[in-house]
Amino acid sequence: MAAGKFTYSLSCPLPQLDFDRIVLGHGSGGLLSKRLIDKVIRPALGEVILSEWHDGAILNTHSKLAFSSDSYVVSPVFFPGGNIGHLAIHGTVNDLAMCGAEAKYLSLSFILEEGLLLSDFWEILLSIKNACERSSVKIVTGDTKVVDGKKCDQIFISTSGIGEVHAQSDVHAKNIRAGDTIIVSGNMASHGIAVMSVRQGLEFETQVTTDSAPLHVPVKKLLDAFGSKIHFLRDPTRGGVATVLNEAALDSGLSIEIHEQNLPVLPEVNGACELLGLDPLHVANEGIFIAIVDPEIADEAMGILRNDECGIHAAIIGQVLDRQPPQVICQSLIGGRRVVPMLPGEQLPRIC
């Protein structure tokens, strides 16, 4: 079994079926599709899927809405600490959380590669269920297509989500002010290094696992306590913390200064970055967020975050400055200063 696979096998075994791999017919819309839905997808997802699940859904909501959509094509599909399934749920839940919203309803669409092992699909579905439960979100509609072998990498997932916006939330880059405090909610770069370690066959003394987690709970706690004093929220997924901070600088027209010594990175992740010639500021994350907040509430916000399981390693990493041009400056460990750019193109390991 690949590293990091979820093991639900005792409580939730794959039903006895007369097929063990996905075939093109499972995406036909006909009898085989129905069997895949009725015998595999529904039983696996259980309560988190609406009983009247079909091509569309009618929803009740009570507040201003946020809407988000994303696609997941991670390779490999299984990696230390998880798989593409919970990534696809947490990703959209978090995108909504960064709008100051709590995810309520998701759509879930699969593009499956012909030949995908049903046992692998089952595990991915179980991790989707687990992630939905953790995120208090329901799946209300979806779709499944199957493509010829080699036309996709085992499984691609697309999720869209609707969330209810917190009544006191006013999260927008235009609200960022000079003097604001920049908080990162946890250790940086773990997800990117976890995935890269399987891709490249790297082994570390301590295994690095993905940080993938839903962030709606700590975000709600911050918004409950401080409302519009939370000026900006963003989860630094691809492109890393550097890219989010650059976006914040450009969109607010202000400069950002961070301190290298305050950046939270696990030693083993830092070691891998040193080895591969990567900057942790550019490596992807799936379970942390950046909050730019009113300096008055920064310490209290840190207290709240550190009492949440997703925010134990939260750190104040810098502040917003009224300085031109809008860019991100990092003060190095030795007191030097450098510009931190956005990640240009793909992140490539260096030669020597």
Contacts (CB under 8 A) with another protein, residues 171-210: 200
Identity of the residue, 86 or 282, whose beta carbon is nearer to another protein in the bound complex = 282
Helix (H, G, I), strand (E, B) or coil at 119: helix
Q: Is 115 in the site for another protein (CB under 8 A)?
A: no
Contacts (CB under 8 A) with another protein, residues 239-298: 255, 267, 270-271, 274, 276-277
Nearest distance from residue 337's CB to another protein, in Å?
Answer: 5
> Ramachandran region of residue 273, left (φ > 0), alpha (ψ -120 to 50) or beta?
alpha
Identity of the residue, 1 or 351, whose beta carbon is nearer to another protein in the bound complex = 351
Q: Is 56 in the site for another protein (CB under 8 A)?
A: no
Contacts (CB under 8 A) with another protein, residues 291-350: 323-325, 327, 329, 331-341, 344-346, 348-350
Nearest distance from residue 58's CB to another protein, in Å?
Answer: 43
Alpha-carbon span 222 to 207, nearest angstrom = 31
Report yes or no: 72 and 117 within 8 Å, Cβ to Cβ.
no
Nearest distance from residue 347's CB to another protein, in Å?
Answer: 9
Identity of the residue, 34 or 338, whose beta carbon is nearer to another protein in the bound complex = 338
Alpha-carbon span 294 to 226, nearest angstrom = 9
Alpha-carbon span 260 to 330, nearest angstrom = 6
How is residue 128 written in tokens?
Answer: 């989707």
> Ramachandran region of residue 156, left (φ > 0), alpha (ψ -120 to 50) or beta?
beta
Identity of the residue, 17 or 348, whose beta carbon is nearer to another protein in the bound complex = 348
Residues 6+ apart with CB under 8 A from 18: none
The residues that touch another protein, with contacts defined as CB under 8 A, are 200, 255, 267, 270-271, 274, 276-277, 323-325, 327, 329, 331-341, 344-346, 348-352
